[in-house]
Amino acid sequence: MRSDALSYAGCEEPHFLEACTLCSKPLGHNSDIYMYRGNKPFCSQECRQEQIENDEAGERRWKVSSKKSKETSKKSETVQTGTLVVSN
Ligand SMILES: [Zn+2]
């Protein structure tokens, strides 16, 4: 009966907070845990800050690439017009 109680307690233990998202350092119950976006635990502010910067860099890359594709289409229009003038 005792072993049943123990295994039940083991099943109830949450496992999603057991390691830092960035460096995979084990997170103890007595150590500080820094949460980010509600579900990502980190062992330190440095690790969390790095994850935030990674996410922001990814979002910035998206914006830059969409801007670039607009510039590229403008340039190719200019090239096409120039080609037309030359062939005429
Ligand atoms: Zn960490």
What are the residue ranges spanned by the domains of the chain? 11-66
Of 32, 41, 37, 34, which is closest to residue 14 (Cα–Cα)? Answer: 41
23 CA → ligand 1 middle, Å: 4
Give the residue with greater pLDDT, 72 vs 43: 43
Output phi, psi for 8, to 5 deg. -65, -40
Q: What is the band of 10 on the pLDDT scale with cuts at 50, 70, 90?
A: very low
Alpha-carbon span 55 to 65, nearest angstrom: 16
Taking residue 37's Cβ as centre, other Cβ atoms within 10 Å add up to: 10
Distance (angstroms) between ligand 1 centre and the Cα of 20 equals 5
Task: Give the whole-angstrom CA distance, residue 16 versus residue 14.
Answer: 6
* CA of 41 relative to ligand 1 center, distance in Å: 9
Confidence of residue 76 (pLDDT cuts 50, 70, 90): low
Over range 36-54, report the average pLDDT. Answer: 94
Tokens of 85: 């003038």
Round the average pLDDT of the chain to a whole number and report it.
Answer: 73
61: helix, strand or coil: helix
